[in-house]
A and B are shown apart, each in its own frame.
Chain A
């Protein structure tokens, strides 16, 4: 799950990390009051979407009067911001962050991720901030440091000193960073983050470190520990069908093709998409209906798949392991009757009681093409989708 910058900054502040004085508004009328509350004569207004590249797309502006903030909010709230990280429709701007303007001496980069190779939380820092870190990594790798935090012993001061040295910090800044490093790790661990990025981390005109950005991703597996973070979820930033699927505990990702897929198991779901492509078709979605595939789950899955107007055929691919295919077939029949499916459905049942399952489908009176091997089922689906 991803958070907005304003939510990230709120959490940064809670963990003692330096962020600018800020207000978030959801209505243009609130802009002038927000600027006055922050005070000063210069502000930065930032459109809040779950995507990077906002500055270049016109979603960030330096302003010198509260009226400009109001105009900016009026221009963006409810509109869609298109950046190089969004799709062609862009992301809905549902909030505007207004913050006091920071005079910048130097821009740095800091992030932390769960690194699969070192099997630890790894900090990545660079003296080159405000730019694309992948480019820095390929062109000037000497300007980047990777520091793994041992999961058992935690962050150590010497690691903060090593990072400070690569960032080129003076002794006061290094001291400040040492405290920040501990707080970043605390934030990461206590809130179960999967990614934290501050780009840029700046040195301001007073010589102090300051977080100008705050990007946070949370580990979805750990959300049960953080009900207050779950409330921060912004459904407007997600594909509506993906949100709907998540409500029913189904794992769904929408794609560009026209063959809807319903599969048990995430790996087999990907494998089914690949097989469709192998025979010249294009999958409309990834959908893992789960190991149990009850009638209720199958019904919900059909509804979500068919909400995509591009879908011309649905391929159901079930490898019945422990679950019996005859029970799944009954679920499919009931679901098709329940949902009122108006496109052809191809079903491949394999494994436990597959023949009995196929018989149930054949006798049901619902129109399904039942095939017991994936090759025929995938070929048939591709043919029907043409």
Chain B
């Protein structure tokens, strides 16, 4: 078992022939991911990386029946690409691209929810189920099949958490980067629900950061519904107020969204806090080791 991605996942890459999509699709294919084709308008009928290219998602759906879309198109076109995948009923849509305008995301998110589909990202590393499939830009080599589920708002911090849990031998069931934007397609809560129901997952690592209240909302959910241990690290304890720390969503606004508030709320809900970035693996070990 795993969440979202398994050996039945058939991936369609949107913006397939672009340089980033090409680089990461090659790596994904090498990792064993079943990429069934891609979409680049105007290049339909050709092949790329030995996979068929289509002019539209609708054409690709008819021919290859993908059940996941991986989006690499530039930010100005993400709204269109996500809505195109949604219009074709693709149930799992992952948008890697950074820099999507927030107002575009308000519309996209509302539409995705209405249709009952699932969007991961944007501005995220994607999803990996170790040894099965990699839908994103994370380095496959640091992962190890195992029992820790990882959810994170940040790419490189996810890799830290992955490496520490790999080094200590726990491995990961699946890892999901939900992205660093203010309006993400999926929340910590959405992923906590899936990991809580996944038999293979014994503990959940949640890597949060300053800004917004996603961690606080997750704390409430964990208290009421999650019966597996949750380990958390919150980045940005030294971040000043009012400054955007790289990610569009990482900003302490009006005194709200500080790391200290998030940590105390999570502790109240029984979450095990890693006292520093270096202690994520050790904290997992203390809890389930």
Show the binding face of A for B, using Cβ within 8 Å: 114, 116-117, 119-121, 134, 150-152, 189, 192, 194, 219-222, 224-225, 251, 253, 255, 263-278, 283, 286, 288, 291, 319-322, 350-352, 374-375
Contacts and interface: CB of A to CB of B under 8 A. Distances in A.
B180 interface: yes
Interface in B62-112: 75-76, 99-104, 106-107, 109-111
Contacts of A220: 244, 248
Contacts of B243: 253, 286
5 contacts: A116-B183, A150-B110, A271-B157, A274-B259, A275-B278
Contacts of B214: 116
Given A222-B102, A268-B160, A274-B238, A114 B183 contact: yes
Contacts of B109: 119, 151
Given A253-B245, A255-B238, A265-B155, A271 B110 contact: no
Given A152-B107, A267-B153, A283-B238, 8 more contacts: A116-B183, A116-B212, A225-B101, A264-B156, A265-B157, A271-B233, A274-B238, A278-B278
B237 interface: yes
Nearest to A224: B76
Given A222-B102, A270-B210, A286-B239, A265 B154 contact: yes
A286 B244 CA distance: 10
Nearest to A250: B246
B269 interface: no
Given A114-B182, A266-B180, A221 B106 contact: no
A288 B246 contact: yes
A224 B77 CA distance: 12
Interface of B: 23-24, 27, 75-76, 99-104, 106-107, 109-111, 114, 137-139, 141-142, 152-160, 163, 180, 182-183, 207, 209-210, 212-214, 217, 233, 235-240, 243-250, 254-255, 259, 275-278
A116 to B, nearest CB: 5
Nearest to B248: A221
Interface of A is mostly: mixed
A275 B235 CA distance: 10
Nearest to A134: B254
Contact of B183 (A119, A271, A350): A119
Contacts of B114: 152
Given A275-B277, A283-B238, A268 B157 contact: yes
B24 A322 contact: yes
A351 B246 contact: no
B75 A121 contact: no
Contact of A322 (B99, B139, B255, B277): B139
Given A221-B99, A255-B238, A266 B154 contact: yes
A274 B163 contact: no
A272 B233 CA distance: 13
A55 to B, nearest CB: 20
Contacts of B163: 319, 350-351
A274 B235 contact: yes
B237 to A, nearest CB: 5
Contacts of B139: 320-322, 351-352
B101 A219 contact: yes
B231 to A, nearest CB: 15
Nearest to A193: B103
